[in-house]
Structure 1
Amino acid sequence: MQRLAPVVHRTPMTESTTFDTMTGAHLHFKLENLQRTGSFKLRGAYNKVSHLSVQQAERGIITASAGNHAQGVALSAARRNIRARIYMPETTPKPKVQATAAYGAEVVLAGRSYQDSYEAALRDQQASGATFVHAFDDVQVMAGQGTIAVEMLEQCPQLQTVVVPVGGGGLASGVATCVKSVRPDIRVIGVQSDRAPAMYNRFHHYAGNRDRKFTGGIAEGILVRKPGEQTFPILHRYLDDIVTVTDQDVAGAMLLLLERSKLLVEGAGAAALAAVLSGRIQVRGRHVGLIVSGGNADPDRIPLLNQLVSGSMEKYGT
């Protein structure tokens, strides 16, 4: 925590009578959308970059990201005056690409998914000898993300359930490890998009969708094709469950957060709330911590959200 303090904000936790009424629970929103760079990813990126040796830093940094890790790495590299080249999918929202470049990193758009960008970044790293900073499959990255749980337990000691978005599993690994180490009685539940359910499938020993065509979706921050090799064993040990949500679920949660709480969040950032509102996680009567993981949404996509949820908002009284 002390290592991160000069750069990383302690983000607030808020409550909402509206959402409590909708769910019959006591919801506590951990607003990582208000973190510097607009996402929790800064925590893990800065922890990793701050641990690099002089020799590693001199070789420069290469990474791949769907957008938020990119900004975290770019800012962290700038703090240490390290060269950074970052591979991002061609489908990455423009605000994320522009913000990454604004921190001084070189941005390379490659492929349609995180996995495409990751493979391109690995080829570059092998040829250049630069230091690779993985978006999730790294112990120091996971440890940085886990500081969210430290703050949540201090801010809301009465928590009974924590709901966390899952892509590659770095955030969930750090959070689950911290929570279960301190409060093993708290349920920790992961949420993944059904457009990229690799971690869900593996967690539940289900292979039905393992090789299906990757179709993308609005929760690009958690659209990861392959589970992390280091993160999966941690999640298998510490998570109580993983559920999936649809793009319609996510879009509805995004619009409700905008309308009721005046929060513009990205798809991955709304995934935890989407899982609760859709009934995939039973929370009635419980104190539930929802990690709003990021706020780097593209405003141009708001019309798409309305199309996705058209006619389905009546159940929420809108």
Structure 2
Amino acid sequence: MSSVSPEIPSDEPRLPGLADIEAAAEAIAGKVLATPFLPAPRLSRLTGAEIWVKYENLQATSSFKERGALVKLLSLDAGERPRGVIAMSAGNHAQAVAYHAQRLGIPATIVMPRPTPFVKVEATAGFGARVVLEGETLSEAQALAFEIADREGLVFVHPYDDFDVVRGQGTIGLEMIAAGPALDAVIVPVGGGGLIGGMAIAFDALSPSTEVIGVETELYPSLKAALAGAEAACGGQSLAEGIAVKNVGRLTLSIARRFVDAVVTVSETAIEQAVNAYLTLQKTMAEGAGAAGLAAVLAEPERFRGRRVGLVLCGGNIDPRLAASIMVRELARAGKIAAIRIAIPDRPGVLGDIAVTIGTAGGNIIEVMHHRTLLSVPAKGASVDVTVETHGPDHTDRIIAAVEARGYTVERLGMLELGH
């Protein structure tokens, strides 16, 4: 890849250069955390690559968005600051703008789509911003934000398609290059392209041999389609709502064309697995978008095997109930939670016998549902649905065999049949 040239075609927006990113780093020093960039041996064993993680989930608002938001707010002049700013966001940009606007004494209005997770809405309001919930998508929220900005004379703070925001996000690249070893590849989650845009410029200037790879959810392949000159087919509810963006920016697309080596897409299942891996192996919170980089390595292990790969854990704002659900689902996928239906005679002591049998076999009963009124059950019988924690599929087989040896009929169930 070539460096940013001062000769920018007239139809292209002006792109930030290394000096702009370095100036942004100086401006936010001491106001935004220089997050750790550390090796992750457990993730390396899981993937076969040498994984290093940049923990942007440790920022005050648990997201990298603070960097670009603060750089933009610091660029406002004396006439713009008192009027205030407005932004549209599914959550992380909203919190970043609200948090630093409050610190700087700048009034902030945030327009958020109605499906935004409550934890993000609550956090944004907690930073003193006026929150307006409108629309089902970011595009619908953006339309209202533009309308309010025009009506009230507010400065619009774009979440990604802005010169100052992009150079602010690029400071992550500077820190990774300074703190860690030379990387074979860096994988960056992509929504509108602001994060990968700033980072790609930094890596091109200071570590040009590092492959810069963007990752999108399969439901919203906006940048991949734009780079191919195609229209993206976007839609659906994504676990990675932070990168569920239908349109990349004009500025960020120009940067990507010059400095991004590849864009890959990942399934929702891979994103779930990555969130779970961060929780269980790294003991750290990752929202869907934040885990997308790891999802790419899990989805294409051969592509990254044996390579030193840098991941940006760009956000940790996940609903705790969703995180718990993901962990249970992954245990089920791994065969460490099993659901069985047992046909039993309806008489005293049977449930106790089953519980003792499962416990003696080493199973841990999580949930029991007792049915007497199902038409599939004999009038003098009953059935019991039992969810059991096990050591894996082989252990589950031994537990079932032990129950059957007591004279009961056992049917395996999928977790969805129990409502999980």
Instruction: Give the TM bin, normalised by the shorter chain.
Output: over 0.9
Q: Distance in 2 between matches of 1:309 and 1:247?
A: 13
Kindly tell me: are residues 144 and 56 of structure 1, through their superposed partners in 2, closer, same or farther at Cα, counting changes over 3 Å? same
CA contact (8 A) 2:182 2:207 kept: no
Tell me, yes or no, if structure 1 residue 288 matches structure 2 residue 312. Answer: no
CA contact (8 A) 1:161 1:289 kept: yes
Tell me, yes or no, if structure 1 residue 16 matches structure 2 residue 40. Answer: yes
* Length-normalised TM-score, structure 2: 0.72
CA contact (8 A) 1:191 1:245 kept: yes
Q: Distance in 1 between matches of 2:80 and 2:271?
A: 39
For structure 1, which runs of at least 5 residues remain unmatched after alignment? none
C-alpha offsets along residues 49-99 of structure 1, whole Å, 9 cap, x if unaligned? 011001111221111011000111011111221110000111111111111
Higher RCO (C-alpha 8 Å, min separation 6): 1
Q: Distance in 2 between matches of 1:237 and 1:293?
A: 23
Moved more, 21-30 or 302-311: 302-311
* Equivalent in the alignment of 2:146: 122
Correspondent of 1:49 among 73, 76, 87? 73
* Equivalent in the alignment of 1:134: 158
SS of equivalent residue, structure 2 residue 26: coil
* Equivalent in the alignment of 1:271: 292
Q: Distance in 2 between matches of 1:24 and 1:193?
A: 22
* Equivalent in the alignment of 2:361: none
* Equivalent in the alignment of 1:100: 124
The one-letter code matched in structure 1 to 2:251 is Q
CA displacement at 1:201 relative to structure 2: 0.9
SS of equivalent residue, structure 2 residue 170: helix
Identity over aligned pairs, percent: 40
Correspondent of 1:30 among 54, 67, 73? 54
CA contact (8 A) 2:63 2:317 kept: yes
Tell me, yes or no, if structure 1 residue 187 matches structure 2 residue 203. Answer: no
Moved more, 41-50 or 258-267: 258-267
Q: Distance in 2 between matches of 1:245 and 1:50?
A: 36
- Could you list the structure 1 runs, at least 4 aligned residues long, displaced by more than 3 angstroms after superposition: 306-314
For structure 2, which runs of at least 5 residues remain unmatched after alignment? 1-24, 336-390, 393-420
CA contact (8 A) 1:248 1:308 kept: no
RMSD: 1.7
CA displacement at 1:307 relative to structure 2: 7.2
Kindly tell me: are residues 158 and 265 of structure 1, through their superposed partners in 2, closer, same or farther at Cα, counting changes over 3 Å? same
Q: Distance in 1 between matches of 2:311 and 2:31?
A: 23
C-alpha offsets along residues 287-315 of structure 1, whole Å, 9 cap, x if unaligned? 1100000001111213543576575447x
CA contact (8 A) 2:161 2:252 kept: yes
1:193-232 to 2 correspondences below 5 Å: 193-207=217-231, 210-211=232-233, 214-232=235-253
The one-letter code matched in structure 1 to 2:287 is E
CA displacement at 1:157 relative to structure 2: 2.9
1:56-67 to 2 correspondences below 5 Å: 56-67=80-91
CA displacement at 1:118 relative to structure 2: 1.1
* Equivalent in the alignment of 2:11: none
CA displacement at 1:37 relative to structure 2: 0.7
CA contact (8 A) 1:247 1:308 kept: no
Kindly tell me: are residues 195 and 311 of structure 1, through their superposed partners in 2, closer, same or farther at Cα, counting changes over 3 Å? same
SS of equivalent residue, structure 1 residue 288: strand
SS of equivalent residue, structure 1 residue 3: helix
The structure having more radius of gyration, on CA atoms, is: 2
Kindly tell me the number of residue pairs found equivalent between the two proteins. 313
Tell me, yes or no, if structure 1 residue 112 matches structure 2 residue 136. Answer: yes
